[in-house]
Amino acid sequence: MATPTRTYAESEADALGERVSRNPRPALIWVGVSAFLLLLEAGAAVEFLLNVLGDFLRAVPQVGRVQAVVNLQEAAGNVPTLLSRETIPNRGYYNGQEYVGTFMGLAPGTAWQFRVGLIYAYSFALLAWTWVGYDWYRTHYRVADWTPRDDVVDRLRSHGWGLFGLAVVFMFFVLVVFAPAVSPTTVAANLADPYGHTMTYWTGSGTEEITVGQANLGAQSQGTPQENVGPWSYDKYGRFHPFGTLPSGKDLFTFIAHGARISLIIGLLSVGLSASVALILALVSAYYKGAVDLSVVLISDAVMGMPQLLLLIMLTVILSGTWIGKIYSGAFVLALIFAGTGWPAMWRSFRGPALQVSEQEWVDAAKAFGQSPTAIMRKHMLPYITGYLLVYGSMTLGGAIIAIAGLSFLGLGVNPPTPEWGRAVNAGQDYVATSSWHISLIPGILITLVVTGFNALGDGIRDAIDPESDSAGGEGEAGGRGGGA
């Protein structure tokens, strides 16, 4: 074993802060660049968080519309953000000689591409910089020259399929966080209140003002070549539609970008809740075994015995009028139902490894010197299950996204007009064989891609954690929960 004969002075055992202060250069550079990168887009990040918070608070009756949050949201809107639609606008009109109102007089499509390109370049730069930070921490500040996690990271780095998954998942996250900025238009102007907003367009001989709603009526995709705005094209009002329009004439890309928010929030919430429940129960049942384990087996079997789809339909209908049913357009209830019915499957996946770890001698050793049960579960069992948590979590997340899309395809779940991918697929199903094929196909492909990405990431993490389980052999133990509700 190659162990460098480096000797440690007492001082090297200091806290991280002291180690940094002894060699502050890398840390300062990293923090400085990070702060600069974050400041560029602070507005977008704050907007996203406040939006989620505001939506939740608004739905709770006792609280209502919290003025403080509204003020914050307005304040966040005023935070100068470099890569926003304000600094790089793509909405404008042709006045006969040139484009007015777009970024540097570019065509709306070009301006939009420029903005989206910059946003993704920025995001990947941020990701790379985070990696640099980890790498510098390893070389400059970490005292251990090797940890078991290093091997996991190294294996993940050379796992092509897993990296593909990571890239897809990351791009999906960027789409979610920067949804307002990457959309060609805004939810308010195009989807929610089109008749309350106006726009200017070039009629061919002069400019004219029109409500967005009227413009949408003229930009519908109805399946005929005459009435269709396909992907990557302009409608007759000079608006660029990267993914074309919906049958109602609304912009599909904007719809999808904001629908991704709902999908991811439901997914994260339901997976987060069910994973926490499953994890705690797995640790407790594996540690105490016997009657505790048996009772959890019985409860989980009972929950698994309930028909999930019927439960979903029943609860969404019953709760639709109540305050909890209104939170996030019904998405919150969906997340709770997914979590409530999904934890037994996860618990079963965690129970095996948890039982295995609880039989290890180091658990006995900890009991022997009087470590408390919670500390034993946390320090000696949990680290061996977090890997499984990531694997099953990412795969279940993909399943949840499919399930939500499936439900809204059936007209259940998230209430209109809140955008949701499944509703776009549903809206386009009459036009699949016509020139408006894009309405169903593009969201469908995106759903498949994102879910595949989450599964690929799960595969990659599993292989990285346990190199002995190859993807071919491990099918049975870690199947993603796809197929909808």
Partner 1 sequence: MSTGRTTPDETESTGASTAETAATSQSTASTGETLLDVQNLKKYYDDDGLFGDPVQAVDGVSFDLRKGETLGVVGESGCGKTTLGRTILGLEEATDGSVIADGRDVTEISGAERREWQRDAQMVFQDPDSSLNDRMTVGEIIREPLDAHDWQTAEDRRARVFELIDKVGLREEHYYRYPHQFSGGQRQRIGIARALALEPEFIVLDEPVSALDVSVQARIINLLDRLQDDLGLTYLFIAHDLSVVRHICDRVAVMYLGNVVELGETEAVYTDPAHPYTVSLLSAIPGSFGPDRDRITLRGTPPSPRDPPQGCRFVTRCPAKVRPDEYDELSEAAWSSIESLHTVFRARANADESVLDRLKAMLGRSVREDVAETRTDLFGGLDLPSEVGSVIDEAVDRARTGDDEGAAELLREEFGSVCNAEQPDEHVVDADGRFSKCVRHQDGYDDPGAVIERRANR
Tokens read off for 347: 């618990």
Q: Which of 68, 144, 291, 433 is close enough to bind partner 1 by CB under 8 A?
A: 144
Cα gap 61→318, rounded to integer Å: 17
C-alpha dihedral over 53, 54, 55, 56, to 10 degrees?
50
Cα gap 196→192, rounded to integer Å: 9
> In terms of CB distance, is 3 or 62 closer to partner 1?
3
Q: How many CA atoms lie within 13 A of 342 on its CB side?
A: 31
385: contact with partner 1 by CB under 8 A: no
Q: How far is the CB of 395 from partner 1 (least distance, A)?
A: 23
Q: How far is the CB of 136 from partner 1 (least distance, A)?
A: 18
> In terms of CB distance, is 146 or 323 closer to partner 1?
146
Other Cβ atoms within 10 Å of 315 Cβ, number: 16
Tokens read off for 481: 């929960």
Q: Which of 21, 147, 203, 295 is close enough to bind partner 1 by CB under 8 A?
A: 147
Q: What region does 416 belong to: left with phi over 0, alpha with psi -120 to 50, or beta?
A: beta
Q: How far is the CB of 361 from partner 1 (least distance, A)?
A: 4
Q: How far is CA 317 from CA 127, 306, 461, in A?
A: 42, 17, 38
Q: Which of 371, 415, 434, 452 is close enough to bind partner 1 by CB under 8 A?
A: 371
Which residues touch 215 (CB under 8 Å, ≥6 apart)? 194, 199, 201, 235, 237, 239, 249
8: contact with partner 1 by CB under 8 A: yes
**For partner 1, which stretch binds (CB under 8 A), given 37-45, 79-87, 146-154, 426-434?**
146-154
295: contact with partner 1 by CB under 8 A: no
360: contact with partner 1 by CB under 8 A: yes
17: contact with partner 1 by CB under 8 A: no
Q: How far is the CB of 143 from partner 1 (least distance, A)?
A: 4
372: contact with partner 1 by CB under 8 A: yes
160: contact with partner 1 by CB under 8 A: no
1: contact with partner 1 by CB under 8 A: yes
Q: Which of 61, 105, 383, 416 is close enough to bind partner 1 by CB under 8 A?
A: 383
416: contact with partner 1 by CB under 8 A: no
Other Cβ atoms within 10 Å of 239 Cβ, number: 26
> In terms of CB distance, is 10 or 209 closer to partner 1?
10
370: contact with partner 1 by CB under 8 A: yes
204: contact with partner 1 by CB under 8 A: no
Buried b (16+ CB within 10 A) or exposed e, 185-207: bbbebbbeebeebebbbbeeeee
68: contact with partner 1 by CB under 8 A: no
Q: Which of 36, 131, 134, 146 is close enough to bind partner 1 by CB under 8 A?
A: 146
Q: Which of 16, 375, 445, 449 is close enough to bind partner 1 by CB under 8 A?
A: 375
What amino acid occupies position 349? S
Number of residues near partner 1 (by CB under 8 A): 31
11: contact with partner 1 by CB under 8 A: no
374: contact with partner 1 by CB under 8 A: no
Other Cβ atoms within 10 Å of 463 Cβ, number: 22
Q: How far apart are the first and last CA of the chain?
A: 51
301: contact with partner 1 by CB under 8 A: no
Tokens read off for 90: 């793509």
35: contact with partner 1 by CB under 8 A: no
16: contact with partner 1 by CB under 8 A: no
What is the separation of C-alpha 252 from the centre of its chain, rounded to a whole number of angstroms? 19
Q: How far is the CB of 478 from partner 1 (least distance, A)?
A: 21
Q: How far is the CB of 378 from partner 1 (least distance, A)?
A: 12
Other Cβ atoms within 10 Å of 170 Cβ, number: 16
CA-based angle 161:386:454, to the nearest 5? 30
Q: Which of 17, 148, 225, 473 is close enough to bind partner 1 by CB under 8 A?
A: 148
Residue 144's nearest CA partner among 20, 24, 13, 22 is: 13
Cα gap 257→176, rounded to integer Å: 6
321: contact with partner 1 by CB under 8 A: no
366: contact with partner 1 by CB under 8 A: yes
Q: Which residues form the interface with partner 1 (CB under 8 A)?
A: 1, 3, 5-8, 10, 13, 143-148, 360-362, 364-372, 375, 379-380, 383-384
